[in-house]
Amino acid sequence: MKYLATLSLVLMVAFGAYAQEESAAELKNQGNEALRAKNYKGALELFEKAIATWGEEPMDEAMVYNAATCARKIKNYDKAINLYGESKKLNYKADVSTYYIASALKSADKDAEMEKVLLAGIEEYGTSKYVAHMKKMLAGYYVKESNELYTKGQGILNTRVDGNRDEWDAIKEKAKVVLDEAADLAKKALEYDAANKNAQAILSGIDTFLAS
């Protein structure tokens, strides 16, 4: 009787482990079906359950990447950043994962972190076709920062009126400090996207304002 009880316990443990493995695989398959149906919220839930019950076998890298994509699609940017980070650690589509980490950071208004990720990604994945996308995103960030300073500089210059003519030189000098910063950022944008029309327009506008 003692032998039978021990054997039953061993079989129960073995069956439990097998069922868990099957459950994780089934959850992954269900997640893939939900993803194909564009049910991103449902797919993410299934993938996360599969990841949590995966066991000691090597993690399915594609599943982690797909989970990240689902999180991005439903605009859960923090979760997308974490999952794409895991995908990158698993060395699965590391260049694409880096791009989407930056994209999620941008959508979450974490521009400083996005800049760091893009600069590192451009250096690390120089031969990837996604580097062009990274450069455009980085240039867009610099243009946005440049435009804010450009607008601020314009505002300072526009305080010049006939009633304060004796202050015009000081006003222009104050505006120039801000506009020089705007110009530096616009030039930075052009380093990554030479055809960026917005950066070119800002530089042209700065020249016009300072010449007036």
Which tens digit of pLDDT belongs to each residue from 148-192? 999 999 999 999 888 898 999 999 999 999 999 999 999 999 999
Q: Once rounded to an integer, what is the mean pLDDT over residues 204-208?
A: 92
Q: For residue 164, what are the CA distances in angstroms to 156, 167, 169, 175, 179?
A: 13, 5, 10, 15, 21
Residue 197's pLDDT is what? 97
Residue 14 has pLDDT above 80, yes or no: no
Backbone φ and ψ for 108, nearest 5 degrees, come out as -90, 10
User: What global pTM score does this model have?
Assistant: 0.83
Residue 101: name the closest of 119, 122, 120, 77 by CA. Answer: 77
Task: Assess contact for 123 and 95: CB atoms under 8 A.
Answer: no
Q: For residue 86, what are the CA distances in angstroms to 68, 164, 192?
A: 9, 60, 28
Higher-pLDDT residue of 121 and 6 is 121
**Token output for 120:** 């590192």
Residues 115-134 pLDDT 10s: 999 999 999 999 999 999 99
CATH no. of 15-120: 1.25.40.10
CA angle 21, 33, 128 (to 5 degrees): 95
Q: What percent of the chain has pLDDT over 70?
A: 89
Q: Once rounded to an integer, what is the mean pLDDT over residues 65-88?
A: 98
Q: What percent of the chain has pLDDT over 90?
A: 80
